Chains A and B, each alone.
Chain A
Amino acid sequence: DIEMTQSPSSLSASVGDRVTIACRASQGIGNYLAWYQQKPGRVPNLLIYAASTLQSGVPSRFSGGGSGTDFTLTIDSLQPEDVATYYCQKYNSAPLTFGGGTKVEIK
């Protein structure tokens, strides 16, 4: 099975900072990569699919990139409401594995 590894596992940044989260697949997955945001005590919410396509209603400060094995999620100007855990997930084949998550906090 393909493994999904996220880094870092947590980060702390200031409001307005640019934040980048990495996700690496142990084998190539094309662009079948999604990012989900889970705010504390809330349900996961789809942010990005096909590695770089923003889901409807998601603020434009979020962006995704990469293909094959290496992917990134970038928040251009971190806002207080972005405090959450972010998960990547591959969906090219079963099992649809999630990464271990990256917890984003405000400094």
Chain B
Amino acid sequence: EMQVLESGGGLVQPGESLRLSCGASGFTFSSYAMSWVRQAPGKALEWVSGIIYSGGNTYHADSVKGRFTVSRDNSKNTLYLQMNSLRAEDTAAYYCARHSGAYYKYYVMDVWGQGTTVTVSS
């Protein structure tokens, strides 16, 4: 069964850092693009970051550009999101999702994790 599982969420203070991880199983991780999608409480889904199959190309939403960095380790079947300079507005459930192909554009997100919650508060 294809699965992705997020970890690393928690409560942090504004300005602090956090690294989320997403472990994949049941498919050839290195063949697929991956993304992070977040959802603030009671709000809509927001695409945060995407990374192609090789890790050679990434994209970050304007709301996180310069603060968040997506990366992957294909030898460990793991996706990461390094989040620096966290703000209250980054409080959300963060989902890891697999795209149905090698690139984050042209391919939909067809496998989603259960999410990990990040709370930024003093």
User: Which A residues form the contact surface with B (CB < 8 A)?
Assistant: 32, 34, 36, 38, 43-46, 49, 55, 87, 89, 91-101
Contacts and interface: CB of A to CB of B under 8 A. Distances in A.
Contacts of B104: 91, 94, 96
Nearest to B57: A94
B99 to A, nearest CB: 8
A37 to B, nearest CB: 11
A97 B47 contact: yes
B106 A55 contact: no
Given A34-B108, A44-B45, A87-B45, A96 B114 contact: no
B61 A95 contact: yes
In this complex, the interface size class of chain B, counting residues with CB under 8 Å from chain A, is: 20 to 34
Contact of B47 (A32, A46, A55, A98): A98
B105 interface: yes
Contacts of B112: 43-45
Contact of B35 (A43, A92, A96, A97): A96
Given A49-B110, A101-B44, 12 more contacts: A34-B108, A43-B115, A44-B95, A49-B100, A49-B108, A87-B44, A89-B47, A91-B104, A92-B106, A93-B105, A98-B46, A101-B45
Interface centre among A38, A93, A94, A99 (most CB of B within 10 A): A94
Contacts of B12: none
Interface of B: 35, 37, 44-47, 50, 59, 61-62, 95, 100, 104-110, 112-115
A57 B107 CA distance: 19
Contacts of B35: 96
10 contacts: A32-B105, A43-B115, A91-B106, A94-B50, A94-B104, A95-B59, A96-B47, A96-B105, A99-B44, A100-B44
Contacts of A94: 50, 59, 104-105
B34 to A, nearest CB: 12
A38 B62 CA distance: 25
